Structure 1
Amino acid sequence: MRKILDRMPMLSKPENGPPFLMGPVLQLLIFTVQQQVQEMWATQQYQFVDEHIEVHLDGHESSQDCVVLSWLKCKALPEDAPIVLIAPGLNCSKASLPGTAAYKALRSRGCRVAVFHKRGIGAPLKTPVFHLFGHPSDFQTVIEHIATRWPKAALHLVGYSSGNGLTGSHAALYSDNLPPSVASYALLVGGADYNFAFAPPRRNFWSDVLLDWGLLYFTKQRMLTPNADVLRAADPVGFQRAMTAKKMQELYQVCHKHFSGFPPEQEARINPFSKGCAVLENMRVPLLWVLTEDDPVMPGGPPDFWFEPLRRLEMTALAMFQHGSHLSCFRSWRLDRWVDQLLIEWLDALGMEMESRTT
């Protein structure tokens, strides 16, 4: 792991602060506008091929549905071309920042790029079962599907924002059942105990603005409203409680109680991060977790008791940056983002390490 990190220039250089007068709040406001523009632009700029993959939860026959795996169209590539599977943010899709900002660089490096859409985002729900972060078992089904189709290709798993709740949980739950082609995880700005993701212990005023105004509104508009018929028919009381929730944490708890497909106590048991990050001690592939201290979703970073276990983990590294807000991560007034460069450096370093092992 140390060799991989040493090959990443951004981790050895002094951190550059944000552009002049661009503090975390201004970055976040600009990023919010940028994201809306980027969605329209990406829809015109990029083409995708969608796969609908059947999924179900073990022991819950009525949970069968499908998730959408979107492949970014590219030139013909060899069978062993690396694959980057992106788990986007809470209400995000293949056209949403922050993931789209890396498409061009990934494609220029000869990568196949795929975007995982959890239940209810890529396609309307067929059954009233969904999880705001996505079900790790659904993610595993998609990973196995990709590994079967491209057995010679290294598969890199990348999460953004709440996509880290999914990828991090998957890393902890499925470390012993990964297909051989899974080569790495990158968790980019976000993640931790998702049962309390919307009630961070060090929350501040801007945390409340982001979580209980912005995210609450967009979650109702992009997740609940498009799937209203299925959800309301299955559980009208639960749906009404979700639509009238005043806090994002309240909305999460209502959805996971009424629609996750698991009883609350079982849901809590399968959340590996509820006891901290020591669950990653069995990781067999490199995992990089990137955070910013000024992120309003997790101000000051993870709980203090997480750091000691992280120092002991051989295959896991935490990169803590001072500036970046919540995935804005602007490094100039051109609004280019250092987190995109960091992802490319991570993949390049992994590629060099894999080459060194085969020569």
Structure 2
Amino acid sequence: MLIRSDFEPAFWLRNAHAQTVFASKLRPSPPLDVERERLELDDGDFLDLSWLPERGLDEDAPVVIVLHGLNGSLESKYARGLLRQADAHGARGVLMHFRGAAEPNRLPRSYHSGETEDFATVVAHVRARYPRAALAAVGYSLGGNVLLKYLGERGRESPLACATAVSVPYDLKRCAEAIQQGLSRIYQAHLINGLREAYENKFNVIDAPEPLPDFRKLRDFPSFDNALTAPLNGFRDAEDYYERSSSGPFIKHIRTPTLIIHAEDDPFMAPDIIPAEDALSAAVRLEVSRHGGHVGFVGAGRYGEPVYWLERRIPAWLRDRLPGFEAPASAREAQEAG
């Protein structure tokens, strides 16, 4: 189902770049305590998980798994904000750091937009740890692409009760083209600089599998993905990586109740990337707003103060579909009184 979102931007943040930058850079970082876990993998590598602290929850309390975006981590404000919401709703929350996102991983391979097996490993790990709990996942940007691809690959076999994906690059090739236009090139440079630093840090610790390219010449995603992402992760080239890793073709195979949130003015991609209704399965609800930027969606409260709308909309979706995910007592009391 493709519908118009009810999101309204703050009157002082109607510009796509303002939405994107305010949410990621100017928003104060939500305070959060976590407990870290290192998950050892069969191939000798590892994944780092950040859990909300145990607070006497029942064994069947639901679990919300959060997947960050490119160059994201526990420091991503959207992730911290949502984990706080999970805590307030009586759920366990865990952020999955993709390989190399928290610190350099042991193998030459990296995380990328189509890597779903690591996420499947985390889901199985969480299921084994809490066998009675209902599971949900929320993915942002690259993490949203991974989540949608995973759900499409698993179909009816997915163990998740529900899911949400935000600001997803459904067509990686088209996104790589769109982010090279106009002011969006600033985001491209920022993201590639972050990737370059991560690779340089890793190959200062482990041996590179082949002579590394001159990082200074990799200034756009096609050249970067051709030189590094594709060969290090088993793809023929960037074209092969984009074709096999884009989530768009998988959405019609999703059978898990899934909310997708997207803004037409997302500066990371062009509006024509948004899936048409015939590309969605009956389990998918795609909410599209005119404004919102990339993982922005900043509204305004009664006195003009910023309201982080995603942290209202996503919990509302989870409350209706994730057993045990309940509104905080203060919110329930306010609703009953009003």
Calculate the TM-score normalised by the size of structure 2.
0.84
Q: In the alignment, which residue of structure 1 is the partner of 2:334? A: none
1:318 aligned residue: 286
What letter corresponds to residue 208 of structure 1 in structure 2?
R
Q: Which amino acid aligns with 2:227?
A: V
The 1:165/1:231 distance shift into structure 2, 3 A limit, reads farther
Question: Could you say if the C-alpha distance between residues 340 and 299 of structure 1 is closer, same or farther in structure 2, counting changes exceeding 3 Å?
Answer: farther
Distance 1:13 1:294, change over 3 A: closer
Shift of 1:247: 1.1
**Structure 2 counterpart of 1:187, which letter?**
A
Equivalent in the alignment of 2:252: 281
Amino acid of the structure 2 residue aligned with 1:310: A
Counterparts of 1:1-359 in structure 2 under 5 Å? 14-20=6-12, 22-34=14-26, 38=29, 45-55=31-41, 64-133=44-113, 135-179=115-159, 182-200=160-178, 204-211=181-188, 213-221=189-197, 223-230=198-205, 233-237=208-212, 240-242=213-215, 244-264=217-237, 267=241, 270-271=244-245, 273=247, 276-277=248-249, 279-300=250-271, 302-303=273-274, 306-310=275-279, 313-332=281-300, 333-351=304-322
Distance 1:73 1:100, change over 3 A: same
SS at match of 1:197: helix
Task: Return the letter of the residue paired with 2:190.
Answer: G
Q: Which has the higher mean CA deviation after the structures are superposed, 317-326 or 166-175?
A: 166-175
Which structure 2 residue ranges, 5 or more long, are not aligned? 327-338
2-side partners of 1:268 and 1:87: how far apart?
A: 20
Q: 1:244 to 1:281 in 2, by over 3 A?
A: same
How far apart, in 2, do the equivalents of 1:196 and 1:299 lie?
8
Q: 1: CA distance between counterparts of 2:183 and 2:243?
A: 31
State the match for 1:8 in structure 2.
Answer: none
SS at match of 1:218: helix
CA contact (8 A) 1:85 1:158 kept: yes
Cα RMSD, aligned residues only: 2.9
Gaps of 5+ in 1: 6-10, 57-62
Identical-pair percentage? 23
Evaluate the alpha carbon distance shift between residue 191 and residue 12 of structure 1 in structure 2; reply closer, same or farther with a 3 A threshold.
closer
- Alpha carbons 1:293, 1:322 under 8 Å: kept: yes
Q: Distance in 1 between matches of 2:242 and 2:186?
A: 27
Counterpart for residue 330 of structure 2: none
Distance 1:346 1:205, change over 3 A: same
Q: For the residues of structure 1 that align with 2:57 and 2:325, how far apart are their CA atoms?
A: 19
Please identify which structure carries the higher helix content. Answer: 1
| TM-score normalised by length of structure 1 | 0.80
The residue identity in structure 1 corresponding to 2:284 is T
Count of aligned positions: 322
Aligned to 1:60: none
Question: Does the Cα contact within 8 Å between 1:130 and 1:259 map onto a contact in 2?
Answer: yes
Deviations along 1:289-324, whole A, 9 cap, x unmatched?
Answer: 110011101232525xx304235x211111101111
Higher relative contact order (CA 8 A, sep 6+): 2
